[in-house]
Amino acid sequence: MARLTEYDIRRKLTATLEAEHGNDDNTLVIQELGVCEGRARVDIAVLNGSIQGFEIKSPDDTLARLPKQIEWYGLTFDTVTIVYSGRKDSTVEKAIPNWWGMIRAASLGGACHLFNVRDAKPNPNQNPYHLAQLLWRDEVLIVLDQRELASGIRSKPRDVLWRRLAESVALDELKDIVRLTIKARVGWRDCGPSLPYVGEPSFDAT
């Protein structure tokens, strides 16, 4: 495995995350989670006590979409980590905000290995409205009904419902609502393990 592909990195990262959180019923690993009404789609999301995004950049990927991804992910996730291969650490560091984490993927001995370069920090710009957009329309209505906040807007477009929810609850409470609601979905196509475990379950030492 001289040159890593996006699939190689995704497979290893998914295996690592699922092995790390496999015994935790409170954690959900999701492939390809859309944010901001589909304007961007993070490669892997992890939901437990926070909402974490992991964006993969293989040697075949350019960084052309990264500025927009930084914008949209910054409105939604608690933390974001870029997982990259084929680039210098310094090049990646200059391209991302200082609160993003960095994981370098490398091919060693015919296998993909992950090296933790920098831990992610809390997102300073998370936006309640865009966080609420992770919920489906019927889910938002249920939450609003439980809080007697749906009066007069029950038949309104979903953006009105998102706005009402985002403006009516504190950010920390909204985070809890979003995480618990997504994890409670039944038969959702993005949920659950999707790639087999390969390799060690932890990041390699640098």
pLDDT of residue 88: 92
Residue 173 pLDDT > 50 = yes
Same domain, yes or no: 38 and 74: yes
pLDDT tens-place string over residues 3-29: 899 999 999 999 999 888 877 778 889
pLDDT of residue 132: 96
Is 1 inside any structural domain? no
| Top-ranked range on mean pLDDT: pick from 18-32, 160-174, 182-196 | 160-174
Is 57 inside any structural domain? yes
pLDDT of residue 164: 96
Same domain, yes or no: 111 and 133: no
DSSP string, 69-82: HHHHHHHH-SEEEE
Residue 38 pLDDT > 70 = yes
Is 97 inside any structural domain? yes
pLDDT of residue 187: 66
Strands 40-47 and 28-35: antiparallel
Q: Which two tokens stand for residue 132?
A: 């609420």
Split into its structural domains, the chain has a count of 2
Tokens 């075949």 sit at which residue? 60
Distance of alpha carbon 22 from alpha carbon 137, whole angstroms:
30
Same domain, yes or no: 107 and 24: yes
Domain that holds residue 109: 6-118
Residue 68 pLDDT > 70 = yes
pLDDT of residue 110: 84
Strands, DSSP E only, in 36-155? 40-47, 51-57, 79-84, 101-108, 111-118
The whole model's pTM is what?
0.87
